[in-house]
Structure 1
Amino acid sequence: MAAERGRPRLARDTIVGWMVLVLFVSLLSVVIVVRESLHVSVTERANADVTQEIEEFRTFTRTGVDPETSRPFTTAERLLTVYLSRQRPGSGEVIVGYVGESGVVTTSYGAGAPDVDEYDLTRDPAVLRAAEQGTSGTLDTPAGEMRWARTVVDVRGGDDAMLLVAVFTGEGTAEADRTVRMLTLVSLGTLLLAGVISWLVAGRILRPVRQVQEAAAEITEHDLTRRITVGDDDVSGLAATFNRMLDRLEEAFRAEQRFVDDAGHELRTPITVIRGHLELMDDDPASREVTMRIVTQELDRMSRIVTDLLALAKADRPDFVRLGEEVDLPALTISLEAKVSALADRSWRLAHVAEGTARLDTQRVTQAVLQLAHNAVQHTADGDAITLSSDVVVDPDLGPALTISVADTGPGVPVAEREHIFERFAHGEPPDGRRHSGAGLGLSIVRAIAEGHGGRVDVGGTPGEGAVFTLVLPTHTPASHDHPEQT
C-alpha cells in the first residue's frame, strides 16, 4: 500500500517541479532583461548628457558674448571661465576646460563624480592621449567606466579652447545593480511562494486520483459499496466516473449473485425429486415408466426455470429490448391472438384491435403477451373466457401509448398482492386458495419487458370475478430505451 500511495506523490512532485522550473526560467529571464535594460539606460543617459554638454558649449561659442564687454569673447580662457561658471554638471559628470597648450582652465564636478583625491582625470595621461586621438570614447579608470567627448573652438585673436565632458557611470550602474538585486530577492520569494502554493493546489487536484487508488485497493468482491467524495472541479469528474463504474459493477455483481441464488433456490426441488425417484427405481417396467415420466416432467420444469432465469439475467443488459422498424399494430394483434388461442382449450376472444404503427421489439412483446395468456390459462378452466385486446391511448405518464390487455374470468388478484406478484419467485394468493405450479418468474419477465420499452404493466379486475393484465408501451420510445437493432 505504501508503494502504491507513492505514485500520486510522484505525480505531485512532477507537476510542482515543472511549474517551479517554468516560473524560475521566466523570472530569470525577467531579471536578465531588466538588468540589461537598466545598464543600457545608464549608458544611454551618460551618452545623452555628454552630447548635450558639447552641443550647449558649441552654441555658446557661436552666440555668447562677454558679460563685461557685451562683445564676443577674445580669449579662450575668458570663454571657458564664463561658460563653466554658468554650468551645473549632472550626476557623475565632470567638465574640464583647456586653453591651447597652457593646460587646464577650470574643472566643474557634478554630484556623484569621483573626488579629486580619488581620481583626477586632468592628471591621467590616458585621458589626454585619448582626447588627442579622437573626439569621444569610453575609458576604464580607477573610478570606474568613463564616457567622454571633447570639442575644440577657435577663438579669434587667441588660443584654441577645448572642452572635455566626462560622465562616470559607476553610480548609475551601482543603482541599477541594487535594483536588480532587489528584483532577484523578490523573484526568489515569489518562486518559493509559488512552489508552496502549487504543492498545495496539486495535492488538492490529485486528491480524487489518490482516492480512486485507495478505493480500488480496498474494494473486494464482497464489498462494492465504497464510493469517492466528488468535488466540483474538472479532475473530480474522474471520481464521478469511477463511482459510476462501481455502481455498474455492484449492480452486475448483485445480478450475478441474485441469478445464482435464484437458480440454486428454484432448481434444488426438482433435483431432489429426480434423485429420490432414481434412487428408489427398481426393475419393474411399470415402476420404471412412472419414474421416467416424473423425471422427464421435472427436467422439463428445470428447463423452463433456466430459460426464465436467463431471460431475467438479460433484462439488466441494455440490449434486452431491441427496437426495430415500425410495427403494424393490427397485424401484431392478429398474430398474438392466433398464438395465444393455441395454448389451451379456452373461449378465446378478441375484443379490440389497435390501429396504427409503433416501434417495438416484436419478439419481446410476443413473449410477454404469451406469458400473460399462459398465466390466465393456469387460473381458468376449460371453456372459460380469456379476452385479448389492444388499443392506442393517451397515457398521463407516457403520452401516446399502446395497450395490450389479457382479461380472464378466473379468481382474480387481491389488491394487496398486485405489487408482490411481479417479484421473482412470488406466488400470489388467489381468493379461491388454489396455488398453481410454476417458478414465479413469468410476471417478473413481463415487467422487465415492459420497463425495457419504457412502459409498465398494470393489474386490474375484481377479485373473484377475474383479472386483467395490461401492457402499457409508449409508441415513441424514450432515448434512454432506444437501442439500435443488433444481430
Structure 2
Amino acid sequence: MTTARPGVPARVRIMGWLLGLMLLALTVVAVGGWRLLVSDVDDRINRGLEQEAKEFVDFAQVGRDPKTGQPVADAYGLIKAHLHNNQYPEPNEIHLAVLVEANGTVHVTRQGVQPVDVSGDKELIRRIVSAPESYGTTPTAAGDLRWAKVPLKATGQGQPSFVTAFFVTGMRASADQAIRLLLLVSLIGFLLAAGVSWVVAGRILAPIRTVRQAAAEITERDLTRRIPVHGKDDIAALAEQFNLMLDRLEQAFRTQRQFLDDASHELRTPITIVSGHLELMGDDPAERAEVVRLCTDELDRMNRIVQDLLLLAKAERPDFLRPAPVSLPELTSDIDAKVRALAPRRWVLESMAEGEVVLDAQRVTQAMVQLAQNAVQHTGAGEEIRLGSAVHGENVSFWVTDRGPGIAEEERQAIFDRFARGSSGRADRSGAGLGLAIVKAIAQAHHGVVQVVSEPGAGATFGIELPLVAVVEEASWAGS
C-alpha cells in the first residue's frame, strides 16, 4: 500500500489564492493610480507652459508697461516688465527673462521659487535659448526641468527670450506621497486579509477535517462513526453525503458478515454429513451407492443454500431489480401457469388485476412461486390453493392462500427471517428456511412489504404489496 506524499495543505492553498488575487488587485490599483496621478501632473505642467507662453505673447503684442502705460521699446525690458507686473508663479514654477549677448554673455532675471538656482547655470540657459524647439526638457540637479520659451526678435543687445519652466520632480511630489500612502494602506490591508483568510479558511475547512478524521477512524470492524451535520451549506451537504456513504458501507459489510455467518452456519451440517459418510463408507457396492446418493443429495442441498444466500446478498445491490412496464393481467396469468406445475393441488385464480405498472416481473414471479411452494409444503394432494392480484389505491398486491395448518401469531414476523421455520403443520423440513426471506427481500427492493394473515388451523394468506409510486421512482432511478 503506497502512501501519498504530503502536499500543500488546502488551507494554505486557499489563503494563497485569496492573497494572490488581492496582491494582483492592489498592484493594478497602485500602478494604475500612480500612472493617473503622474498623467494629471504632466497635463497640469503642459497646460501651465502653454498658458504662460500665450500670456506673454499677448503682453508682447500690447508692448506697454502696465504701471506707466508707456510703450516699452527694449525687448529685454519688455520681458522683465512682464515678470514683475503680471506673474505669480506657483511652487516649483519659474519664469526667466533671458538675454544672450552676441559675445556670449548671459543676463537672467528670474521670478519664482526654485529647488536649485538654474539662473546661475549659464550653460543650461544657453542650451535652452539655442534649442530649435519651443518646448523641451532639460536635466538639472533637482530633476527634469520642463520648459517653454518665447524668443523675441533680436536687437542690438543680443537675443532676448521669455522662458517659463516647471521642476517635474517637485510637481510630482504630491502624487508620489499619495502613492506611498496608498501602498502603506495596501500593505496593512494585505496583512489584515492574510490573517482573516487564515481564520476563515480554517473555519470553512473545519468540517472537512472532521470528515477526514472520521474516515481515518473508520475500520472494517467499526463503521458506526458519523459526522455531525450543521446548517444547509455545501459543507453540510458533504457531511450528509459522507454519512450516507457510511450507511451504505455499513450495510454492505453487514450483508457480507451475515452471508459468511449464514453460510458457515447452514453449510456446516451437510459438510459434516458428507464427511462422516465418506469416512465410514465400506467396500460393499450397495453401501457405496447409498453413500454416493446421500452425498449427492447433501451437495445438491448445499448448492441450493449457496444460491439462495447469493440471491439474498445480491438483493442489497442497486442492480438487483430491472423494472420495466408490464401488464398485470399477463403477469398474473403467467404466475398462475407456472405455479400449477409445482404439485398436484387444486389451484384457483381468484382475482386478476387490470392495468399496467412498472416493476421487475421476473423477481415478482420468483417471489410468488416461492410463496406457492411454501403453500405446497403445508398442504396435501388435491387441496385448494388460491392466488390472485389486485390494484387498490397506490398499491398492487399479489397473494397466495392455502388451507394448511396456519401460523401462530408469535411466529408471523419471525418466519420471514433467514433460516426460520414454522413449528406447525406438515412442513417439508428439507429446505434451508430461506424462501420467505427471499420473498421479503424482493418486496423491500420494490419499496414494498410482505404480509401474512393466518389463524391456527384455518390456513394462511401470504402476499406482497408494492407501492406503485415507489416502483415507478425505482424504475426511473435504475434506468438513469
Normalising TM by the smaller chain, what interval?
0.7 to 0.9
Distance 1:105 1:144 in 2: 21
CA contact (8 A) 1:31 1:184 kept: yes
Task: Give the one of 380, 400, 417 matched to 1:406.
Answer: 400
Aligned to 1:340: 339
After superposition, the C-alpha distances for 1:203-226 in whole angstroms (9 at most, x for unaligned) are 455556655554444433222333
**Separation (CA, whole Å) in 2 of partners of 1:183 and 1:289:** 103
**Residues 318 and 478 of structure 2 are in contact (CA less than 8 Å); yes or no, is this contact kept in structure 1?**
no
> In structure 2, what is the equivalent of residue 458 of structure 1?
451
Match of 1:109 among 104, 109, 112: 112
Q: Deviations over 1:365-418 (max 9, x none)?
A: 222112111211222233332112223x223xxx1x432221111222334433
Query: Which amino acid letter does the alignment assign opposite residue 346 of structure 2?
Result: S
Aligned position for 2:432: 439
- Alignment-derived partner of residue 416 in structure 2: 422
Q: Give the whole-Å Cα distance in 2 for the aligned partners of 1:436 and 1:8.
A: 67
Which of 125, 130, 133 lines up with 2:131 in the alignment?
Answer: 133
What does residue 462 of structure 2 align with?
A: 469
Amino acid at match of 2:456: P
CA distance in 2 between counterparts of 1:107 and 1:444 reads: 113
Counterpart of 2:128, as a letter, is A
Could you say if the C-alpha distance between residues 166 and 304 of structure 1 is closer, same or farther in structure 2, counting changes exceeding 3 Å? Answer: closer
2: CA distance between counterparts of 1:315 and 1:435? 26
CA deviations on 1:248-289 (whole Å, 9 max, x unpaired) are 332222111101111111222333344444545556677666
1:189 counterpart SS class: helix
CA distance in 1, matches of 2:269, 2:233: 55
Partner of 1:140, secondary structure, is strand
Give, in whole Å, the separation in 2 of the partners of 1:378 and 1:57.
127
Change (3 A) 1:166 1:287: closer
In 2: Cα distance, 1:123 partner to 1:473 partner: 107
**Is the contact made by 2:282 and 2:288 (CA closer than 8 Å) also made in structure 1?**
yes
Change (3 A) 1:46 1:483: closer
Aligned pair in 2 of structure 1 residues 273, 136: CA closer, same or farther (>3 Å)?
closer
Distance 1:403 1:36, change over 3 A: closer
Q: 1:152 to 1:8 in 2, by over 3 A?
A: closer
Amino acid at match of 2:368: V
Shift of 1:442: 0.9
SS of the aligned residue for 1:359 comes to strand
- How much has 1:315 moved relative to structure 2? 1.0
Distance in 2 of aligned mates of 1:378 and 1:62: 132
Residues 325 and 358 in structure 2, CA contact (< 8 A), matched pair in contact too: yes
Paired residues, number: 470
The residue that corresponds to 2:51 in the other structure is: 52
The gaps in structure 2 that reach 5 residues or longer are: none
Q: Deviations over 1:20-65 (max 9, x none)?
A: 4454454344434433443343333223222211111222233475
Counterpart residue number, 2:358: 359
- Please list the CA deviations of residues 162-210 of structure 1 after superposition, one character each: whole Å capped at 9, or x if unmatched: 4222222232233333333323333333333333344444445555665
- Contact 1:50–1:148 (CA under 8 A) maintained in structure 2: yes
The equivalences for 1:269-280 within 5 A come to: 269-280=269-280
Partners in 2 of 1:380 and 1:411 — Cα distance? 8
1:19–1:358 Cα change, 3 Å = closer
Relative to 1, partners in 2 of residues 1:68 and 1:156: Cα closer, same or farther, differing over 3 Å? farther
Q: Distance in 1 between matches of 2:40 and 2:301?
A: 100
For the Cα contact (< 8 Å) 1:454–1:481, is it kept in 2? no
TM-score by length of 1: 0.81
The correspondence of residues 85-484 of structure 1 with structure 2, limited to 5 A, is 85-98=85-98, 106-110=109-113, 113-114=114-115, 119-122=117-120, 124-134=122-132, 135-153=134-152, 162-207=161-206, 210-211=209-210, 213-228=212-227, 233-234=233-234, 240-281=240-281, 294-327=294-327, 329-391=328-390, 393-395=391-393, 399=394, 401-430=395-424, 437=429, 438-474=431-467, 477-482=471-476
Any gaps of 5 or more consecutive residues in structure 1?
A: none
- How far does the alpha carbon of each residue in 1:279-303 deviate from its partner, in whole angstroms, 9 at most, with x for none? 4555667766665555454444333
The 1:147/1:411 distance shift into structure 2, 3 A limit, reads same
Q: Cα gap change, 1:326/1:335 in structure 2, threshold over 3 Å: closer, same or farther?
A: closer
> Do the aligned partners of 2:65 and 2:81 also contact (CA within 8 Å) in 1?
no
Query: Are the counterparts in 1 of residues 49 and 147 from structure 2 also a CA contact under 8 Å?
Result: yes
Is the CA contact 2:378–2:404 (under 8 Å) kept in the aligned structure 1?
yes
Q: CA deviation at 1:446?
A: 0.8
Q: In structure 1, what residue type is equivalent to 2:61?
A: R
Please tell me whether the aligned partners of residues 324 and 484 of structure 1 are also in contact (alpha carbons under 8 angstroms).
Answer: no
Q: Secondary structure of the residue that 1:383 maps to in structure 2?
A: coil
* Amino acid paired to 2:362: Q
The TM-score normalised by the length of structure 2 is 0.82
Which amino acid is 1:464 matched to? Answer: G
Q: Report the CA distance between 1:148 and its aligned residue.
A: 1.9
Report the RMSD for the aligned CA atoms in angstroms.
Answer: 3.8
Q: What is the SS of the residue equivalent to 1:478?
A: helix
Task: Quickly say closer, same or farther: Cα 1:57–1:78, change in 2 above 3 A.
Answer: closer
